[in-house]
Chains A and B, each alone.
Chain A
Amino acid sequence: MAEQALSDVKVLDLTHWVAGPYCTKLLADYGADVIKVERPGSGDGARRLGPFYHDEPHPEGSALFLSLNTNKKSITLNLKSALGRKIVLELAQRSDVVVESFAPRVMPSLGLGYETLRETNPKVVLTSISNFGQTGPYRDFKGSELVLFGIGGELARTGVPDREPVKLVSHAAQFMTGMVAASATMGALFGQRFHGVTQQVDISMVEVQANGTERRRPYILGYQYDKLLKGREYASAGSGYPSGCFPCKDGYFQIGGGARYWPRIVRMIGSPPELLDPKWTAPLAQDAPELKEEFMNKFFYPWLAEHTMLECWEASQVEGMFTAPLATMPDLLQDPHLAARRYWEDIEHPRTGKVRYPGVPFRMGETPAAPRRGAPLLGQHNAEVYGQLGYGKEDLVRMREMGVI
């Protein structure tokens, strides 16, 4: 197997749910050796969230868990036991990075604060992922995808004007937190190896949103600059035409029009002679409701009705326009481009057999990601990992009986 970018990186993963596991998954998928520590019995809470393989609830069948934990090893360990604490320190001693996602009070209360970890391993980087960060007045507040996105992100401007704001797709804010945690972790690790600066990284989910470019950066800077407080809008409310997402022959087609793109739009729909009339390019043509109506009813809707999503997409892309079909998962899985690039990856798992997963996010020329292993069964690597630490078969039996693993 070719060397990977992170073949020399060992990660002790004390995270659960979504943000932390996505962070360590990114590292694992590019070659880091990630040991995931799970609570004995139930494991990572994500194991009980659906959707489930064949809709049968089972700790090894959660699509969420399976997708977030590829390439990792799983051990079970009770961190509240004295032996559990000792073993975590033994593992930290052999790790370059520890990532945890407990509430801020938990690690110190377990006797696993950063100072303790550094006494064991002076070079270890600790990344702490939490809802609100390790400090501040809301530090101990509780959160959820919706609650945290509302405080940190652009929830106020997602949705339509006369309704309540509505959140992003599924766990998106938590995924974004995981991405940033992975980048900051690699930054800190590089700083450790390059400059010898060893430190803790503090990742707060609300802060990732408040300073992130899922609209918040440009939108809040916009308010600082122009003092125009903007709200939610219908997608079809754009001023230039045609702008929005419109029905076509077999689905919906999204396009952004306006004066700048007008010549391209005319070419896209076959350059009907009537559209060459100068009235269409007069200075205020894009603001004239009667012209918009004429264009939409006489030219655009009829053209859409005769073309499929893919035909509309291709015709507009030839003209260099930013357009899209309104795709569902089957559309995506059948996309010829992703297929030609062999993007999807079929991954084997004892519970599900071979299943198709999204591929890795980027392709590294010198250190390509190797084919990935499926997510681990709960405690699948106990014998291997504990064996390396010198615990024998009989020890494992005792540890199990004592509720440590």
Chain B
Amino acid sequence: MAKLPLEGIRVADHTAVWAGPFGTLILADLGAEVIRIEPIDRHVPFARGGVARPPKAAVQKSGGYPDRDPGERPWNRSAGQGNTNANNKLSMTVNIHRPGGMEIYKRLLKVCDVVYENSASDVMPKLGITYEMLKEVKPDIIYLRAPAWGTWGPHAHFKNHGASLETALGFTTLRGYTDIHPSENASTFIADFGAGAQGALAVLMALNYRQRTGKGQFIELSQAENAIPVLAPAVLDYTMNGRVQGPRGNRDPWCAPQGCYPCQGEDMWLTITIHNDEEWRALVRVMGNPPWATEFPDSLTRWQRHDELDQLIGAWTAGHNNYALMHILQREGVPAGIVLNDRDVFEDPHLNDRGNFPLLTHRDAGTHRYPGVMFRMSQSDIRVRRPPPCLGEHNEYCYKELLGYSEEEYQELERMGHIGEDYPPHVLI
């Protein structure tokens, strides 16, 4: 098999929550050796669970852990954070802020190509990690920082995760139902996705530049600035036309009808999009040429009487199985699709056929199917090569093989508390 694109590239990963880990996940999926650099005297918020040791009763109720049980080492078992975006990564522990920690970290930097972080803007400087310091140790290092609002400016100290960030950026007022106030909109995480995907892109661009010139660089990704281009049409509608857009439900003005319609079964749905008369005629044919269809002969009528049309189509779909309808409609050339919930997505024949959702055995979480890789390549074997790492799982490899510490030194660092697999008992959150 051909080499993976980033084979030979090593990343020091300081990320937490979703936005950062998703970025380094893409680099790991592309073949980079991504090492999570984790303190072990405390738990970084949302790095390996909402908290390090969640109460058993709470987990029983809300889930998020295998068999709704936090287990002996909950930090190795969190679906929400720790294990979500961690396939193909390694984990090494070091308390950078404790005596001896910085020395270990600098030794690691010498063999790294990229340092990647997404904490609040004051976190890394407090650890003593700045671009200047990194550059001194490794002159061609690529350092990407992705705080919510960037490292400077009036809101540089503001904390925002995906959900609240999207509200502050206008995403929330631009989606949802037209008849329910946007304050009731569920959280979406396009900004987290974007920070990860475009953060990985930034690193790849910098690697390309380094390959050509030998120079590394500092990259600042403000998650806010990074997400706004997704809203460009709404931004331009305001800056060009002064219009303040609002939500438009499931509709797009160039398709009629378009909607999400109920099907047989509990909370089962089918989406349909009609772009033109041909697709409309096919839909009418599949519906069995109902008499009312003649009242909607053209796209403008369908757009103007869309509410009415939704009722009629919904009454028809409600009697059918959504998979059956998708296949019949698609065969006739109508864009239509099932709506896959978190259980059924694992059963979909197409997603399975393309090798999604590999079955992985994780030391502390057991055997489950996992989300996989977003892209395929024709030569490199792009796939999940290893499950998410347990805390400190790769200490031996990192300290001894990579950094060249002797067994004696390794044991000393273990005694000093840098190396381990457990947070101290007092670490609850």
Is A362 in contact with B202, judged by CB distance below 8 angstroms? yes
> Is B259's beta carbon under 8 Å from chain A?
yes
Q: Across the interface, which residues of A come within 8 angstroms of B348, CB to CB? A: 151
Q: Distance (Å) between the CB of B14 and the closest chain A CB?
A: 17
**Central interface residue in B26, B67, B211, B239, by most chain A CB within 10 Å:** B239
Cα of A260 to Cα of B64 in the assembled complex, Å = 18
- A residues 255-278 in Cβ contact with B at 8 Å: 256, 260
Q: Looking across the interface, which residue of chain A has its beta carbon closest to that of B242?
A: A330
Q: Across the interface, which residues of B come within 8 angstroms of A323, CB to CB? A: 160, 164
> Is B397's beta carbon under 8 Å from chain A?
no
Secondary structure at the A interface, as helix, strand, loop or mixed, is mixed
- A residues 156-204 in Cβ contact with B at 8 Å: 156-160, 163-172, 175-176, 179-184, 186-191, 193-195, 197-204
Q: Across the interface, which residues of B come within 8 angstroms of A362, CB to CB? A: 198-199, 202, 219-222, 225-226
Q: Looking across the interface, which residue of chain A has its beta carbon closest to that of B255?
A: A144
Cα of A324 to Cα of B173 in the assembled complex, Å = 12
Known: A194-B8, A201-B375. A156 touches B269 (CB 8 A): yes
Q: Distance (Å) between the CB of A1 and the closest chain B CB?
A: 15
Cα of A160 to Cα of B213 in the assembled complex, Å = 52
Scoring A residues 311 to 331 as 1 if CB is less than 8 Å from chain B, else 0, what string do you get? 001000100111111111111
One of B238, B368, B378 near A333 (C-beta < 8 A): B238
Cα of A190 to Cα of B185 in the assembled complex, Å = 40
Is B197 in contact with A219, judged by CB distance below 8 angstroms? no
> Is B293's beta carbon under 8 Å from chain A?
no
Q: Across the interface, which residues of A come within 8 angstroms of B182, CB to CB? A: 245, 252, 326
Q: Across the interface, which residues of A come within 8 angstroms of B295, CB to CB? A: none
Is A168 in contact with B217, judged by CB distance below 8 angstroms? no
Is B217 in contact with A218, judged by CB distance below 8 angstroms? no
> Is B285's beta carbon under 8 Å from chain A?
no
Cα of A171 to Cα of B368 in the assembled complex, Å = 32
> Is A212's beta carbon under 8 Å from chain B?
yes
Known: A132-B350, A187-B5, A326-B167. A67 touches B339 (CB 8 A): no
Range, interface on chain A: 35 or more
> Is A64's beta carbon under 8 Å from chain B?
yes
Q: Looking across the interface, which residue of chain A has its beta carbon closest to that of B252?
A: A145
Is B217 in contact with A367, judged by CB distance below 8 angstroms? yes
Q: Determine, out of B99-107, B151-159, B416-424, the stretch whose residues face the partner at the interface.
A: B151-159
Cα of A223 to Cα of B347 in the assembled complex, Å = 13
Is B337 in contact with A150, judged by CB distance below 8 angstroms? yes
Is A365 in contact with B220, judged by CB distance below 8 angstroms? yes
One of A137, A164, A321, A324 near B168 (C-beta < 8 A): A324
Scoring B residues 28 to 41 as 1 if CB is less than 8 Å from chain A, else 0, what string do you get? 00110000000000
> Is B287's beta carbon under 8 Å from chain A?
no
Is B351 in contact with A228, judged by CB distance below 8 angstroms? no
Q: Looking across the interface, which residue of chain A has its beta carbon closest to that of B172?
A: A326
- A residues 340-377 in Cβ contact with B at 8 Å: 340-341, 343, 352, 355-367
Is B173 in contact with A136, judged by CB distance below 8 angstroms? no
Q: Across the interface, which residues of A come within 8 angstroms of B200, CB to CB? A: 183
Known: A51-B237, A170-B174. A224 touches B228 (CB 8 A): no
Cα of A220 to Cα of B347 in the assembled complex, Å = 12
> Is A290's beta carbon under 8 Å from chain B?
no
One of A67, A181, A197, A364 near B379 (C-beta < 8 A): A197
Is A197 in contact with B380, judged by CB distance below 8 angstroms? yes
Q: Determine, out of A3-11, A81-89, A299-307, A385-393, the stretch whose residues face the partner at the interface.
A: A3-11
Q: Looking across the interface, which residue of chain A has its beta carbon closest to that of B160?
A: A322
> Is B399's beta carbon under 8 Å from chain A?
no
Cα of A313 to Cα of B149 in the assembled complex, Å = 14
Q: Distance (Å) between the CB of B179 and the closest chain A CB?
A: 9
Is B350 in contact with A136, judged by CB distance below 8 angstroms? yes
Known: A187-B204, A317-B157, A363-B220. A213 touches B225 (CB 8 A): no
Known: A51-B241, A219-B342. A187 touches B233 (CB 8 A): no
Cα of A194 to Cα of B348 in the assembled complex, Å = 37
> Is A282's beta carbon under 8 Å from chain B?
no
> Is B328's beta carbon under 8 Å from chain A?
no
Cα of A64 to Cα of B351 in the assembled complex, Å = 30
Cα of A244 to Cα of B156 in the assembled complex, Å = 24
Is B164 in contact with A164, judged by CB distance below 8 angstroms? no
Q: Across the interface, which residues of A come within 8 angstroms of B30, CB to CB? A: 184, 187, 191
Q: List 17 A-B contacts (CB under 8 A).
A: A5-B206, A6-B208, A51-B236, A64-B233, A147-B273, A147-B337, A166-B176, A170-B233, A170-B252, A183-B198, A199-B378, A207-B356, A222-B79, A226-B64, A332-B231, A359-B228, A361-B198
4 cross-chain pairs, A with B, having the tightest CB-CB distances, nearest first? A191-B5, A226-B63, A67-B232, A366-B217
